[in-house]
Amino acid sequence: MGKYQKIITLAVLAALIFVIYSNTLHGPFILDDGMYIVKNPQIKDLSLLWPPSPRYLTYLSFALNYSLGGLDTFGYHLLNIAVHIVNSSLVFATALLLFKTRGLKDRGLEEYALPAAVMASFFFAAHPVQTQAVSYITQRFASLTALFYLLSIACYLKWRTSGSKGRIVFYGIALLSAIAAQLTKETGFTLPVVIVLLEFAFFKGTASIGKRCVPLVPFILVMAIVPLLLFAPGIFGSGFSGLSEGTRAQQLHDLETISRHDYMATELRVMVTYFRLLILPVGQNLDYDYPFFTSFFAPAVFLSSFLVIGVFGLGIFLMGRGMKGRSPLSLIAGAGVLFFFIAISIESSIIPINDVIYEHRLYLPNAGAALFFSAALIGLFDYSKKRFKFALS
């Protein structure tokens, strides 16, 4: 695969994203932008940001924008678009690297690596459901977390598929990015789970389980950062102040006052809405007026649970099939499904949040959906190609 093909692909990808979102460059501040940016003293005085919160690096990015252009929204939107370009490129890189893993290498699928990566990255980049996370300035929380999340995954895969030269550099970047994800938004907490999933799904039999677990330990330890910052904020100093403390207080208030049972019941229905938005992105909304369900036996919830369990089960089935070597592309498709569920689990499970649905919560999980759809389409094409050759023989 020539490097020029990759460069051209990434250039076209960046141009497409810029064209799609260029009309947002002068968009005004909306909704929570007032709280997190316009009226937030922390981005105007960096000393107020310490000690760090689980959203520390996003606040720093807002502070960078403020220092360069004040409250002119152009710079904020431009950085959001740049982050989306990087994230789409990381989806491209991740897909290519998955084809170099032990689970897919030497399976006669090399010709499909670039098409699969192109489809996955363009699906992620241009899908309408990404609009909120890119054009709504405050939702840089979602997109910047995704940047560190995807960078960590890509560098981990690069470390595992590279030769000895420079390997430790990729591992180091992967680990630092994992830490950064924890300090960008709470959803970064799930990243180590994805790393573990990819290790045991795509690198089966490369070494003993013990040896493979050793480099995973630092990533697992990283998962302690978010809980420590939320429940022991004084660990790095005297505790949060200002907006950081207000956000933390609201999160703890939601945990204490919203029923986990009711939230989970509602999120089963929300998940079906998310599925529908991924497949048929019509009726999108910045702020949904969504019903709250209090019973798992409500017809809408009961039926939704079957679909959610069915999709999750499909991911398990595809991954199991791929790990047994029956269908290598199933490995990517299954991993994409499980990535989706892991990435969305913080905001759509039993951890209650006052707002039950927002489209920006699909931003990172959409990377998993992109991998699933690209692998499924390539698999369908490969199957049809083989059937056609068989018919002609």
Q: How far is residue 86's CA from residue 80's CA, in Å, rounded to a whole number?
A: 10
- Residue 138 confidence (pLDDT): 95
Which three-class secondary structure state does DSSP give residue 278?
helix
**Residue 292 φ/ψ region, left for φ over 0, alpha for ψ in the -120 to 50 degree band, beta for the rest:** beta
Of 313, 368, 359, nearest in space to 335 by CA: 368
254-287 per-position pLDDT tens digit = 778 889 999 999 999 999 999 999 999 999 998 8
Contact 349, 264 (CB under 8 A): yes
What are 5's two structure tokens?
């093909």
Of 384, 385, 365, 373, nearest in space to 117 by CA: 373
pLDDT band at 390, cuts 50/70/90?
low
Q: How far is residue 161's CA from residue 102's CA, in Å, rounded to a whole number?
A: 8
- Residue 247 confidence (pLDDT): 79
Whether 347 shows a pLDDT value over 60: the answer reads: yes
Residue 271 CB coordination number (10 Å): 22
Backbone angles phi, psi at 298, to 5 degrees: -60, 135
Helix segments in 22-139, DSSP class H: 33, 56-69, 73-98, 110-126, 131-135
Mean pLDDT of 163-190: 90
Q: How many CA atoms lie within 13 A of 224 on its CB side?
A: 7
C-alpha triplet 267, 270, 272: angle, nearest 5°: 120
The type of residue at 344 is: I
- Residue 257 confidence (pLDDT): 85
pLDDT band at 240, cuts 50/70/90?
low
Please name the residue that has the structure tokens 């991740």: 94
Please name the residue that has the structure tokens 């004084």: 234
What are 385's two structure tokens?
């190609």
Contact 368, 343 (CB under 8 A): yes
- Residue 387 confidence (pLDDT): 67
Which three-class secondary structure state does DSSP give residue 27?
coil
136-166 per-position pLDDT tens digit = 999 999 999 999 999 999 999 999 988 665 6
Contact 13, 92 (CB under 8 A): yes
Q: How far is residue 150's CA from residue 147's CA, in Å, rounded to a whole number?
A: 5
Which three-class secondary structure state does DSSP give residue 58?
helix
